[in-house]
Chains A and B, each alone.
Chain A
Amino acid sequence: MSGGLNRDRQSTDVLVRNNVRVLGPDGAPVMLMVHGFGCDQSMFHRLVPYLHDTFRIVLFDHVGSGGSDIDAYDPAEYDTLDRYVVDLIEVCEALSLRDVTVVAHSIGAMMAIDAAVRRPDLFAQMVLLAPSPSYLDDAASGYVGGMSRRDVDELLSSLDDNHLAWASAMAPVVMGGENPAELAGEMEDTFCRVDPRVMRTFARVTFLSDVRDLLPSVTVPSLVVQCSRDALAPLTVGSYLHAHLARSELVVLEATGHVPQASAPDETARAILSYVAV
């Protein structure tokens, strides 16, 4: 049937476009990892070993990051969250994923929230790592996102200077010596590749998106995982999400920083496992 072939073809295109990788036992519950700004799927590198015996782990790169197809990156199309959300849903569909536990970091969490509103049928639950529904302070509603109007202006002007692009336009970093042997074959030896051209638009998407309006529409249960000292997401952000997401739980890690899956993988994994085991 031509329809079937066509669909296979499209699925393959999606898998290549987003550099999708699947680890772990066939038939196990599915865990989809959604990375955030500044890196690629390798930001889950330290977390995966805690999970890949129990879960079917699906990793992918946003278009413009990691091993994704850079030709698919159109700055006009990827200038809002929308296209990233569509890609996320397409990855699920290409692999016919159902009952997905989505583990999403930072801006990835916004994408997951949006996707869960559009397609609640796809997701069983969400684990939101260092999430924020909006990074900007909103004086009108009293919301504290962490970035003041002045910060935003400064950020926008540095985006215009392309500062981010050239600050990150450096050689890919080589993984440190403590590389877990069992993953050596799965991971490439370079990681956190981000195309400098993409940084500027992606930063705009990340720090100017606001999904607070979507929160009341979320029906998929979620775990909000916050770090105790995160320069990008003050503690109030976590409690805000917990208060506005129905069926959510909140856990504040002892870990500091914005990337607990790298800085405190064991604590992060414990939080995830005890949540999904319930």
Chain B
Amino acid sequence: MAERTGPDFEVLFRTAGAGLVVTADDDTIVEVNDWFPRWTGMAREELVGLPFMRLLSVADRILLSTRTALLLELSGHVAEIAVTIVTGDGERLPATLGASRITTDPPFTLFVVSPRREQSFEEAQLLSALRLADDAETRRRSAEQDLEQVSRRDALTGLLNRSGAVDAVADRLVGSRQDGVVSAAWIGLDHFRVVTESLGRAAGDDVLSTIAGRLERRFGDEATVGRVGGDEFVVVLPERSSARLADEVLALVAEPLTADDVEIVVSASIGLADHEPSGTDVDHEPAVGAEDLLQRAGLGMYAAKAAGRNRWRRAAPASDESALDEIRLLGEIRTAIAESQLFLEYQPQLDVRTGELHGLEALVRWQHPSRGLVPPSGFIDVAEKSGLISQIGVWVCATAVEHAARLARGPSGSVQMSLNISARQFGEAGFAESVIALLHAADLDPGLLTLELTETGLATDLSQITENFRMLQEHGVRLSIDDFGTGHASFAYLRDLAVDEIKIDQSYVGRIESSAEASAIVVSCVELAHALSVSVVAEGVERQSQLTRLADIGCDVVQGYLFSRPLGAEALQAWMAARRTA
């Protein structure tokens, strides 16, 4: 009886109705059956010796290396993996792959490859649903981020804006209550206006973005980094402030940078302040603590600017006597407003050519119940820092407008009324509307009111100032720049804001005879102003010789002790009556 012969395994292998590929441990193909070269259009000789992975798309190669190979090692076989075979000609053939480890010595892997139809309808639907869900989630996320971006972030640099920074610092204070160590560095670029004025706004933006990027890269992970003013940044860190840190920031800013293709070097003035848990309300009000910390760092920056710029200064600690005095003073100012301790004096202004009364400047005074008369220098700065200046400003404006309206109805007739408004108040939304409302209420011709913009070293919102200026001017209110020539923004204001008048600072007037430089400055200010059809007021005129010189130069209006000191309402009435009869 003939013994039944078993199948010839080699023939079975060669003629199997699916692709069979055998690889060695290092992934090279050692054998293929007949089906596989036929299906791929590649010769057997071409295939043998080639790494199997070479036949797969990149995604499959990754999946095979990371996942499939691992599964093979751990479980011995893998079934039904969808892959794409890429032939020598670059043709892409969808396939289903199965694999088994053959644990001979040496070991081999057997891949079984069969053609696969493209994704089934159901698979395609499932995947498209997953993708839509993914995309919707991503869109929601990005919409949320956009919103956050707008309200808390600065559009130019992407850093936190002022209110975003205050919130972040407040969070930090809550988080740090255990050890309480938080410090702030307020970084103000020096002479930044020079960059924008000489190279343009785009170059200025380049500078700001570059500095922002450097600060963010250096401190971003551990710190809160914000752009808190036009050219001011803040870095808040969970460590005590140090000279090392401040010097590092100075160096970071001072690295040359390219703005509008010009290489420039900028410097900064830095104020440092440490958060000091005081055991008071501030500790329970993180937002107040954050404001306090940032404000003190800001004051430190002004001290650094005053000391010559390109340096750092530490702010006085909150427990410092002078700071305590300030807090006490703020309380007293609030009382002064509430209890009518403030009053106005009026200093006459004269027309240089005619010698006639041109107008009055209203000046605020404080009759303190125990300390007597407090000059503006004793409280305006503090009010300015705290924001109380706005309340004082509104009171001054209402009182002066009422007084001007009363004068207009009286025997002396209409006079121009000037009053000082801080840049901070000019930068508040709604300021113009409130002035216009006051004018309406008092029935005063808006043309009789002149508002003098006083620059204060604090950061202000120039676009809001411009907007308020525009609206006031549309209603006929005259606008003036006070202390012209002293603040670093004077010329920018003159250029950017349509003003009717500038007031030459009295420090120049006082030296107009003794200093050729002061004289030259006044001459150029007058020429510049007249070229722009802006009238010029000189204040602090005390001597006849000064008046003569100012008249020669072409100054339009003067005020000073030579004519009259500031007068209370009654004294003013008498002074005006005396002039009428003179």
Interface of A with B (CB < 8 Å)?
A: 36-39, 42-43, 45-46, 74-76, 106, 118, 147, 151-152, 154-155, 158-159, 162-168, 170, 173-177, 191-192, 194, 196-197, 200-201, 203, 207, 229-232, 256-259, 262-263
Contact = CB atoms under 8 A, between A and B. Distances in A.
Contacts of A74: 137, 141
A263 B66 CA distance: 12
Leading 5 A-B pairs by shortest Cβ distance: A38-B66, A38-B67, A158-B59, A76-B141, A258-B65
Contact of A39 (B64, B67, B131): B67
Contact of A76 (B57, B81, B138): B138
A8 B58 CA distance: 44
Contacts of B69: 257-259, 262-263
Contacts of B89: none
A111 B451 CA distance: 61
A38 B67 CA distance: 5
Given A39-B70, A259-B70, 5 more contacts: A38-B66, A159-B59, A166-B82, A230-B65, A263-B73
6 contacts: A38-B66, A162-B131, A166-B127, A175-B74, A258-B65, A262-B69
B50 interface: no
B26 interface: yes
Contacts of A163: 57, 59, 82, 84
B60 A173 contact: no
Contact of B27 (A36, A75, A155, A229): A229
Interface in B57-92: 57-67, 69-71, 73-76, 78, 80-84
A191 B65 CA distance: 17
B53 to A, nearest CB: 5
Contact of B74 (A151, A168, A257, A262): A262
Nearest to A79: B138
Interface of B: 25-27, 51, 53, 57-67, 69-71, 73-76, 78, 80-84, 119, 123, 127, 130-131, 134, 137-138, 141-142, 221
Nearest to B126: A166
Which among B83, B119, B127, B142 has the greatest number of chain A C-beta atoms within 10 A? B127
Nearest to B69: A257
A37 B58 CA distance: 15
A207 B73 contact: no
A257 B221 CA distance: 37
Contact of B80 (A118, A170, A201, A230): A170
B59 A197 contact: no
B135 to A, nearest CB: 9
B66 A229 contact: no
Contacts of A46: 73-74
A40 B81 CA distance: 18
A75 B138 contact: yes
Contact of A147 (B58, B64, B81): B58
Contacts of A165: 127, 130
Given A166-B82, A175-B74, A232-B65, A256 B51 contact: no
Contact of A231 (B65, B73, B141): B65
B82 A231 contact: no
Contacts of A42: 74
B506 to A, nearest CB: 57
A23 B324 CA distance: 60
Contact of A38 (B25, B70, B76, B138): B70
Contacts of B75: 173-176
A75 B135 CA distance: 9
A165 B71 CA distance: 17
Contacts of A152: 58
